[in-house]
Structure 1
């Protein structure tokens, strides 16, 4: 009888007794003209990673979440989300979050914002968008083996993506994590109406930095839905989430 009561007691305990979330992140994935099909695939994959690694995810496509208290989240992840869609009040809430120790992760399309539309956010990203060549296969190289977002990818990684060309108008210092070898593809193969431009040997595709009182991780990789099924890419994202949310994992 004692064993029966003990078993019933264990069954009635809340699930959090068994697996408490280490931290919680907010993922905002707002569709745009060229980025919407990835959303259900990315959601399934990231929620699986969250269950596997014991952290919580709040997933939304509604910028209205920025009207509420963001301080419950260890990090805010902009997943292909046009940040310029946030209202002035929502931008102010996010800026306050970062100035009081919040952290941000920016993925692919979320790194693009029209010039002068939100300079504070442009400085958070650390680089400004120039153009995106057509999707091509290239060699992505590891620039920082000590950073968690590189632990799951090879030193020379065959990857196909839009390898954004960027500039640094605000003279922001970043810490590159991944670069792309421009000799392995044609950066001038671009869409009509864009201006061809090469970046040369220093062509970062992922980086980290401090901003305000928080941490920022940016990856420009992640254009198509199938990328969010690729385990190496997911390990890249997981490493970024882990460091952004906790500040841990980077080898010194």
Structure 2
């Protein structure tokens, strides 16, 4: 299996299949563990290992495993009590089909136009594979970005990421996580702090978040808030002065 291709294919399919956050977390965890086994077709994993890596409660883990099996993402076979089940990851990658080159013509001459079209097809497929790998280096899915760069995606964090994607956008959530990593703050609360600030400043796009005008907008707001509090303080001081003079 190609890890990056499988991740991209998985996230392309998730929305259509309406996978639950627990099922997404479990699939990502199983992929990570399967990667450590060297991509064995079938591998055994004790439930305790999966629970520890995914941080899922046991009931959520069982429901998620059943969901993944029913929707064709995994196969697993129970070997009985006190024995680790056998898992198999089902590939979601659809490889392009290449037609066979036509046989030589009756006069013994090869159809060069067919050879040329086949070569062009191979080149296009190779370019697509490179583009997929390059895109995989910087995931466009916030859940995948968190899983690959920050840590195991727990159901709670998955729900918070989904919430902020709906409130802001996928691009802004990833941008917030990138800034958290830049400052070595590997926890989502820091990302939420950035998103809260952007939301309060009315940021709607990645361009606005990266704009220098955002800093000036923040300073204007802070100055306005400071000026308001100073005015309130002066009003209170003036009132106390009048009371003293009465």
Which TM-score band applies after superposition, normalised by the shorter structure? Answer: under 0.3
Flag the structure with higher strand content: 1
Q: TM-score, normalised by structure 2?
A: 0.19
- When Rg is computed on C-alpha atoms for both structures, the one with the higher figure is 2
Q: TM-score, normalised by structure 1?
A: 0.18
Flag the structure with higher helix content: 2
Task: Tell which has more relative contact order, 1 or 2 (C-alpha 8 A, sep 6+).
Answer: 1
